[in-house]
Chains A and B, each alone.
With several copies, the nearest count.
Chain A
Amino acid sequence: MSMYSEKVMDHFKNPRNVGEIEDADGVGEVGNASCGDIMKIYLKVKDDVIEDVKFQTFGCGSAIATSSMVTEMVMGKTLEEAEAVTNKAVAEALDGLPPTKMHCSNLAADALHDAIKNYREKHNK
């Protein structure tokens, strides 16, 4: 019995794509410790396609699950497709989040978009 859906708990227990990419093409970060969540997304991009994506998260269960989910959703996708992924879509892919978590810990897509932006800036695309 948990406040989270089974999918959230699955991603919390077995997060996909945890870690750092040493020579990332793009890095994104959102949140700060005082609001309880920090998410960092690392991208490896080739021909506008996300070849690898990893995350590091300081945060509650939903922060970790949304981070994991977003990496799974965009792996192998084009940057454009990845940019279309919203926080809402991530929450839905996890079968929803408790109301109090919808606004606060559901920032993984923002971190992803920040990483793409960082990639585009660095590579002038």
Chain B
Amino acid sequence: MDRIYLDHNATTPVRPEVRDRMLPFLGELFGNPSSAHSFGQEVKVQFEEARQRIADQLGASPAQIVFTSGGTESDNYAIKGTAFAAGKGHIITAMVEHPAVLQTVSWLAKKGFDASYVQVDSSGVVDPDEVKKALRPDTILVSIMHMNNEVGTIQPVEEIAAITKEAGVYFHTDAVQSFGKLPTKVDDLGVDLLSMAAHKIYGPKGVGALYIRKGTRIDPLIIGGAQEKRRRSGTENVAGIVAFGEAIVQAEAEREQLYSRLTGLRETLVKGLTERIPEVIINGDPSKTFPSTVSASVSHVEGESLLLSLDMEGIAVSTGSACSSGSLEPSHVLVSMGIETVLAQGTLRFSMGRGTTKAQIDHLLEVFPPIVERLRRMSPLSASKAC
């Protein structure tokens, strides 16, 4: 069997149609879109078409889309940009956010801003009332993600938006995991700022965008030659941006069909795991979780050793924490959901995508139980038990 990729929340392969759209821009369409001559202008046209496509997906105007180098930059731009424009103030976020949000907020906290972190319930969902309670007169921004990357939890963004709107506070959502997978019309969601990335939806790495509602007071993060209407300077990653435009159109076209296919695959996976492996816990509430992601905590064994063992069988998954730090701390997301430390350490994330098949899941379900058994036999935690 070919290698099996079950780490689509980390990144996805570039779709062949998307790649084909990029190639001319690595060839003769090499002009700088800021250039007034024809080499520049012929590029600019296609480049602006990509902006229109992103805007359409959001139900926004192209003038409200700023291209960036990815999801992390978009998050940094949204949060630091509104913070620096305000000068000082209080920011509300949640413990389940991606480090791109959490670490940015904690950097700002070191620079004189204030931060509050709302808790989540055991399925990882933010309670809008908690956001309301955390509001202060000097609150400038609420940042709550749309879809969580580790567990797949979908947050009640619309309800939170109603609260921020009433309070007159900006609302940013990190939609890096949801853009192209769930509807993300900005007026339905009610958000002022929304982060996106191409590489989660079969586009290239190193390109993303930030939606900025008209009138939002925001400082630029990357300053210079005044590209993107002064909001994001630097020669644009034209090939990447055009590819992003293509990726979203393709993703939207198959979105609903993929959703139902993933729902079926999730059922097979969850059923197989719980039936075949003793003491495995599936994290999150499936009714509030996007079906591509299954987070499973396996008692008595550690996640990386599970990951490596699966990798030896040609199956790619991720541990609970998507973080590259090599830190051995258990996932902040799982811990904030109240999962025991040692279980959090033994968590794997299976994230499926458009290339995932039933045969792949079946194969995983063959291979995985003996791996767990072998590692449990090695573990001092399970030694006393007959597992």
Contacts and interface: CB of A to CB of B under 8 A. Distances in A.
Interface of A: 1-4, 9, 12-13, 15, 18, 20, 29, 33-40, 56-61, 63-64, 98-101, 104-105
Contacts of B379: 56-58
Given A33-B342, A34-B342, A12 B308 contact: yes
A1 B45 contact: yes
B304 A29 contact: no
Contact of B326 (A20, A37, A39, A98): A98
B381 A104 contact: no
12 contacts: A1-B45, A2-B38, A33-B342, A35-B328, A36-B328, A56-B383, A57-B378, A57-B379, A58-B301, A58-B342, A60-B305, A104-B326
A38 B45 contact: no
Given A40-B380, A100-B325, A58 B302 contact: yes
Task: From B38, B42, B326, B329, name the one whose CB has the most chain A CB atoms within 10 angstroms.
Answer: B326
Contact of A33 (B42, B305, B345, B377): B345
Interface string B117-158: 000000000000000000000000000000000000000000
A64 B328 contact: no
Nearest to A64: B305
A100 B308 CA distance: 16
Interface residues of B, number: 30
B41 A3 contact: yes
A56 B380 contact: yes
A25 B308 CA distance: 33
A100 B305 contact: no
Interface string B319-348: 000000111111000000000011001000
Contacts of B114: none
Given A36-B345, A100-B325, A100-B326, A56 B378 contact: yes
A37 B325 contact: no
B298 to A, nearest CB: 11
Given A36-B345, A61-B308, A15 B378 contact: yes
State the 9 A-B residue pairs at the shortest beta-carbon distance, nearest first.
A100-B326, A60-B304, A33-B342, A36-B328, A56-B380, A1-B42, A40-B380, A34-B341, A1-B41
Interface string B29-64: 000000010100110110000000000000000000
Contact of B380 (A3, A34, A57, A104): A57
Contact of B311 (A2, A35, A104): A2
Contacts of A36: 302, 328-330, 345
Contacts of A99: 326
B300 interface: yes
Given A2-B311, A29-B380, A105-B328, 7 more contacts: A12-B305, A20-B383, A58-B300, A59-B304, A60-B328, A100-B327, A101-B326
Contacts of B41: 1-3
Interface in B338-373: 341-342, 345
Given A1-B42, A2-B38, A33 B381 contact: yes
B169 to A, nearest CB: 31
Nearest to A104: B328
A38 B328 contact: no
Contacts of B26: none
B345 to A, nearest CB: 5
A60 B379 CA distance: 11
Nearest to B382: A58
B338 to A, nearest CB: 15
Contacts of A57: 378-380
A91 to B, nearest CB: 15
B328 A13 contact: no
Task: From B301, B302, B325, name the one whose CB has the most chain A CB atoms within 10 angstroms.
Answer: B302
B386 interface: no
Given A1-B42, A3-B41, A37 B302 contact: yes
Contacts of A34: 330, 341-342, 345
Contacts of B383: 20, 40, 56
B312 interface: yes
Task: From A18, A29, A36, name the one whose CB has the most chain B CB atoms within 10 angstroms.
Answer: A36
Contacts of B326: 98-101, 104
Interface string B286-309: 000000000000001111110010
Nearest to B304: A60
Contacts of A61: 304-305, 308
